[in-house]
Amino acid sequence: MRIIVLTFLLSTIYCPVLCQQYNTVIKGNFKTIKFNSLRLVKYDILSDDFKYIGQSKIDSQGNFIFQLNLKKPVFCKLFGDFFFITPHDSIEIKATENVKSILGYDLIVLDSKNSKNYTFYKTFLDKIKSHSISNFKKSNFSWPVFKRLCQEFYAERLLYLERSKINNDVSIEFYNFLKKDVLFEHMSSLFQPFFYKMPISTIELQNSLQSLGIDTLFKSNACHEFISFQQVLNQYYKYIISIELQGFDNNIHFKSQFEYVKENFEGTSKEFLTSLIFKKAVALPDPKYYAINDSIYSYARKYFSDSSLLSFIKGKYILYKNLHKKVPDNILVSKLKDFNGVEVELGSILSSLKGHNILIDNWASWCAPCISAMKEAKESANFLITNNITMLYLSQDEDTSQWKKLHTTLGLSKNNSFLLSDPQKEFIKYFRITSIPHYILVDREGNLLSQNSPGLTDLNALIKLIGSN
């Protein structure tokens, strides 16, 4: 039995399709870590489809027991670190003192056709990781900015992949999988300030890139699909400068972003970038900025008819069309369990709260950000009363005991805190809940105001949403 020692970092949630169930013990003292279990999720950024594939629990000795439905050995990224896992491995984790929560568990299915994959990728990642950390220590800008600007990390990954392909260190299948992953990470990192709230200044971007030696790497021909990264970068500068001259107000029209991507990108990269635009567009809380309206949906059907992204867009468009309408009957009959285990329907709870704006908080005991937000919500009691808002807490826990424990610890009322009993995931699918916390806003008459509402950490956006009704 192998013992693999890891130091874990924060991560995002992505997992593969798995089938045969095994138990994997992860040893370590987690007494200071503010979580009890993790839900494992497979999530596809383009189709927006997802499913739960496993659950982990912490035992009395502080060990994690992961129930993984493994189809074959997997190559894993656990909280930022990479390792290979077979069904009966024991993994020891050293928790650093500053880690207070765990956001996810990443699994990448290992291509079993080539036994060199693990060695090659692990060596490669170690090399890149040390290189990136070294550059970061030399830099003067903050970690969030560094994350946005570390294109050298991804550019070098592409170069390494090209060399590995030439040397037959990886199979074509595994190479294509990794390249797709690398291209997405590279471009989402490059264009993050473009798609999100406010771009950093062009001067800061140029200076930071030059300090990391990006200029040279961008001129390589390893990145086949993008031809010339320098050309892309120049176009990016030109676009941001034009925005700065016009007076940037944090709300670039999304259609202009689509046009920009359509003109400058092809294939997979275009799909990834447009998916980021849509995801940002539909997350905006102010109703006047909902992007999946009739005109945008028509535009998307015209330009993305052959794209898997269209199914994601269609789902968001249907939700947009349902705004200010009653929650459908097949969702209202979703089963909830109260603190005593008695089943009730969602519709009956919403009816009992009629006359109040209802903010539905989807959470779970294993979700540290959820718990943090719920604790902060206690400070918003006056805001809730003033704006006639009632909280409705729906837990996605499968472990009833953990839910009850947190229910008591957080001081939740038995009248507005329930366990979601949704084996077919109809409620989750309808509201397209791919991560938590996830908030849903229903108005005083039971009409849907927002399927992806801001929470109590953004009170101004919440007031705008309620005030628009």
What DSSP element (H or E) covers 313? helix 309-322
Reply yes or no on whether the pLDDT at 157 is more than 60.
no
Q: Please write the tens of the pLDDT for every residue from 411-433.
A: 888 778 888 877 667 888 788 77
Instruction: Classify 343 as helix, strand or coil.
Output: strand
From 109, 142, 161, give the residue that closes a domain. 109
The mean per-residue pLDDT over the stretch 306-318 comes to 66
189 and 148 Cβ atoms separated by less than 8 Å: yes
Q: Is 204 or 134 the better-scoring residue by pLDDT?
A: 134
Whether 84 and 138 share a structural domain: no
pLDDT category at 461 given cuts 50, 70, 90 is confident
Whether 462 and 337 share a structural domain: yes
Assess whether the previous peptide bond of 285 is cis (omega < 30° from 0).
Answer: no
Q: Tokens 């491995």 sit at which residue?
A: 89
Whether 145 and 94 share a structural domain: no
Q: Please write the tens of the pLDDT for every residue from 6-29.
A: 222 222 222 232 334 444 444 444
Q: Give the tokens for residue 456.
A: 């109590």
Number of independent structural domains in the chain = 3
Domain of 122, in residue numbers? 117-322
Euclidean distance between CA atoms 143 and 254, whole angstroms: 28
Q: Is 340 or 31 the better-scoring residue by pLDDT?
A: 340
Q: Give the tokens for residue 222.
A: 């390893």
Instruction: Classify 431 as helix, strand or coil.
Output: coil
- What letter would DSSP give residue 200? P
Whether 278 and 205 share a structural domain: yes
CATH of the domain at 431: 3.40.30.10
Whether 178 and 294 share a structural domain: yes
From 288, 303, 322, give the residue that closes a domain. 322
β strands within 291-412, DSSP E: 335-337, 343-345, 357-363, 389-395
Q: What's the alpha-carbon Rg for the chain, to the nearest Å?
A: 23
- What letter would DSSP give residue 327? P
In sequence order, which ranges of 167-293 are alpha helices (DSSP H)? 172-190, 192-195, 202-211, 214-218, 229-246, 254-264, 267-283
The mean per-residue pLDDT over the stretch 48-65 comes to 52
Reply yes or no on whether the pLDDT at 450 is more than 70.
yes
The mean per-residue pLDDT over the stretch 135-151 comes to 41
Whether 313 and 357 share a structural domain: no
Whether 426 and 314 share a structural domain: no
Q: Measured between alpha carbons, how far apart are the two ends of the chain, in Å?
A: 60
Instruction: Name the CA dihedral angle for 320, 322, 328, 334, rounded to a multiple of 10 degrees.
Output: 20
Q: Is 112 or 413 the better-scoring residue by pLDDT?
A: 413
Pairing assessment for the beta strands 64-70 and 20-27 based on DSSP bridges: antiparallel
Measured on CA atoms in the order 200, 206, 207, 212, is the torsion positive or negative? Answer: positive
Whether 315 and 345 share a structural domain: no
Which range, 82-86, 176-180, 263-267, has the best average confidence (pLDDT)?
Answer: 263-267
**Closest by Cα among 43, 84, 40, 31 to 66:** 40
Q: What is the pLDDT of residue 427?
A: 85
Euclidean distance between CA atoms 78 and 6, whole angstroms: 8
In a 10 Å sphere around its CB, with 0-12 CB exposed, 13-18 middle and 19+ buried, how is residue 429 labelled?
A: middle
Whether 68 and 127 share a structural domain: no
Whether 317 and 338 share a structural domain: no
Euclidean distance between CA atoms 106 and 23, whole angstroms: 17
Output the pTM of the full model.
Answer: 0.46
Q: Is 319 or 207 the better-scoring residue by pLDDT?
A: 319
Cβ neighbours of residue 269 closer than 8 Å, sequence gap 6 or more: 183, 187, 225, 226
Mean pLDDT of the chain: 57
Whether 213 and 260 share a structural domain: yes
Reply yes or no on whether the pLDDT at 135 is more than 70.
no
Q: Is 170 or 246 the better-scoring residue by pLDDT?
A: 170
The mean per-residue pLDDT over the stretch 313-323 comes to 71
From 322, 354, 370, give the residue that closes a domain. 322
Instruction: Classify 8 as helix, strand or coil.
Output: coil
Percent of the chain with pLDDT over 70: 32
Whether 127 and 97 share a structural domain: no
pLDDT category at 359 given cuts 50, 70, 90 is very high
Reply yes or no on whether the pLDDT at 399 is more than 70.
yes
